[in-house]
Amino acid sequence: MTELSMSRRSFLKYCGGIAATLGLNQSMIPKIVSALTSDGRPPVIWLHFAECTGCSEAFLRSTDPGVADILFDVLNVTYHETIQAACGEKAEQNRDRTVADHAGEFICVVEGAIPTANNGVYGMIGGRTMLDIAQSIIPHAKHTIALGTCAAYGGLPAASPNPTGAMGVKDAIGVETINITGCPPHPMNLVSCITSYLLNNEMPSLRSDGRPYFCHGQTIHSGCTVPHACMQGYNCKGPRTYNNCHLRLFNEESWCVQAEHQCIGCSEPGFWDNHAPFYNPMWMSMFATYRPTAVPHEYQTTASCNSCHSSDIFEEEESHQNDPRKFQQAMHREHEIRLMTSQSCANCHPEAPGGTFDPI
């Protein structure tokens, strides 16, 4: 423990956080300490491609322990373009030597999408395309972790019309990846993933989309700890967003919904195209008017029907349906009721300042 630059107290607290993230009993802390201080930790090569460096920035703002302690003492990162001391040819030589000496052993963390159009010419590093660098390094890794939504699914660089042909790592290179998503993902999720590998000699169990169950196994809505009432009726994507933001606060302080902001689903495939626009003027007006007295908005049932129909018509018809939710959706389509627009807000709030069919 004395070999680590962080204090023993800080390190033990951090290991306790890893155990909690992985859903392990606190009795596992000694084993986690042993795994993270052993000489057998594999080197980690951290590659940057088409991204904003936000995933690394999340690490840079980690405290107790700090970024240097995590990246170098805990994760054994040997190459990271943003914070490494070496630069230019010297840095590339260090990277390539690690790949050659530890082929089939090192862990590759990829941050950012990979431009593939016109042989990858739209993304260059040191005279080489990002695509070429990825093809020469990633296939030699024992495991590849796509860190952030851009690396996993393309993210913002792959948003329509995507002139650079940006893709997630799996689609661009054709290798299986462990996808730790978010914009940015919580730093603890990456450390916990690698710790799980050190403990069990295998990566944690994955969903069909490559995301680990321990951090992407449940929706935010299912366990949301909102302090000011549910925002499901305010275009919150929590009911269909799989992440552990509400369980692992950034720097143990806060997260989006706690700061009175709806979830925008940043960890999901097609994040930018499927969820945008995130706001429009009508949504902002509705939010400002009704948010202070908000109550949980469950799936809409009779709220939109009562304006024109008696209160029991919907329930009577729904009781004969094999799939009530499917029936609800069919009726919404039939009546052109778009639940994720400000028009649906006006259905329940007749005093609202008008309603539009624009996505909110």
Name the residues annotated as catalytic: 52, 55, 150, 183, 221, 224, 230, 236, 245, 256, 263, 266
Strand, coil or helix: 314: helix
Edge-to-edge, what's the strand order for the sheet holding 143-147? 77-80, 44-48, 107-111, 143-147, 178-180
Bridge partners of residue 219, in order along the sequence: 242
Return the structure tokens found at 300: 């809409």
Nearest to 288 by CA among 221, 234, 354: 234
| Cα dihedral across residues 305, 306, 307, 309: positive or negative | positive
C-alpha separations of 18 from 31, 188, 278, 360 in Å = 11, 7, 33, 37
Identity (one letter) of the amino acid at 169? Answer: V
Q: Tell me the C-alpha distance between 190 and 171, whole Å.
A: 21
